[in-house]
Amino acid sequence: MPMVWRVFAGALFLMVGSSPFVRSFPMRGRRASANAINLIFQQRGAPSRSTQTRMNDAPICNGHIFARDICLSGTNSDAIDAPASVSADNDSQGDKSRQLRRERLNHHLTELGVDASALENAAFRAATTTEGFDARFGKSAIKAYRSYIDPKPSKVEAIARENVDVAANRYARQIDFLSKRHRSREAEWVRHIDTSEHRRAFPLVLVLDNVRSAANVGSIYRSADACGCLEILTTGITPHPNGNGAEKLAKSALGAERIVPSRHFLTTRQALEFLRKERPNLLLVGMETTERSKLYTTLQYPGPEPLAEENDDPAQLPGVALFLGNEVSGVDTEILPELDEIVEIHSFGLKNSLNVAACAPVVMFEILRQWGVRNK
């Protein structure tokens, strides 16, 4: 840049900095963010990087380097005459806060059985070498560790307002979970990934009669996919895909709601009439605790022959439609008498029955067992 432009730019900067209008709006400058490297360097006796950052980023006022908030706030004379100890005091306070966060986080990690010293060293190596992330902890756990001890500038105030011990305990539990998830994913003998390319379907249909909880419905969708259900019929207030409660349902279904075919009916009677007309080969079974209920293992469920070909249309084979009712009132009492059978699961506790999402897979797998279904 030509000398004349440098002089002009410097004069303009001083004029703007001394303007009363500008001084009335203190600018909170971007201070150097002390990251994990800075913390660990200090612990190992190396000089803080904050001094170097101020040298690089802070504006120059009359030949002296100060933090941005000192140079651009208050009066011009205050900015020029501000002692360097102000910035040093801020750094000292920040160092104490980081040290306290580190001590409490390591304490809670140790309580959870996590090797805090090894994790700290892993964070240091990940930030200062090209070795990558330690396989014992994984990338997510190490990043979570660093993000609490040395948060981004935008997060500093929020973390400062929170009780250190409470926050450290929460971060420790998160780090512990992330480490376990990483090890589980890395274990070759543990299967967490959907690898099946073909979904088997059986003549098994679920009817959800005004089931209220989207979490329960999502769980039932997962069970239905695992059991190869042909279809799910939802009725009334039951959350369903592309309808009310779809987002909450998806949280527990984890994609199963897009796999298992489904359709919605305004009333359970409409669903009953649909099955009688379109699926006359299905035995309609209600799951409810009544005086007429049979133990679910004693009923013989009609179904395909054990040697039936997989390419047979399951909609044309004999099978079962299970009716599951509301969490409080159960299956509609006007519908129960019109079903072919009613089954129940015995309870040995004080509660009369199981949660509806827990009942569904118990009976579905019993049906598959009777049908002689085997995983190939």
Per-residue pLDDT 10s for the chain (376 aa) are 555 555 555 555 555 454 444 444 444 443 444 444 454 445 544 444 444 444 444 443 333 333 333 333 344 444 444 455 545 556 676 788 889 999 999 999 999 999 999 999 999 888 888 877 888 898 999 999 999 998 988 888 888 889 999 999 999 999 999 999 888 888 777 766 666 667 888 999 999 999 999 999 999 999 999 999 999 999 999 999 988 888 898 989 988 899 999 999 999 999 999 999 999 999 999 999 999 999 999 999 998 876 455 667 788 889 999 999 999 999 999 999 999 999 999 989 888 888 999 999 999 999 999 998 876 5
Residues 6+ apart with CB under 8 A from 326: 209, 210, 211, 212, 356
DSSP run (H or E) holding 17: helix 3-18
DSSP letters spanning 57-120: HSPEETTEE--HHHHHSS-HHHHHH--HHHHHHHHHHHHHHHHHHHHHHHHHHHHTT--HHHHH
Angle between helices 164-186 and 138-149 (to 10 degrees): 170
Q: How far apart are CA 18 and CA 13, in angstroms?
A: 9
Residue type, 202: F
Residues 72-114: tens digit of each pLDDT: 334 444 444 445 554 555 667 678 888 999 999 999 999 999 9
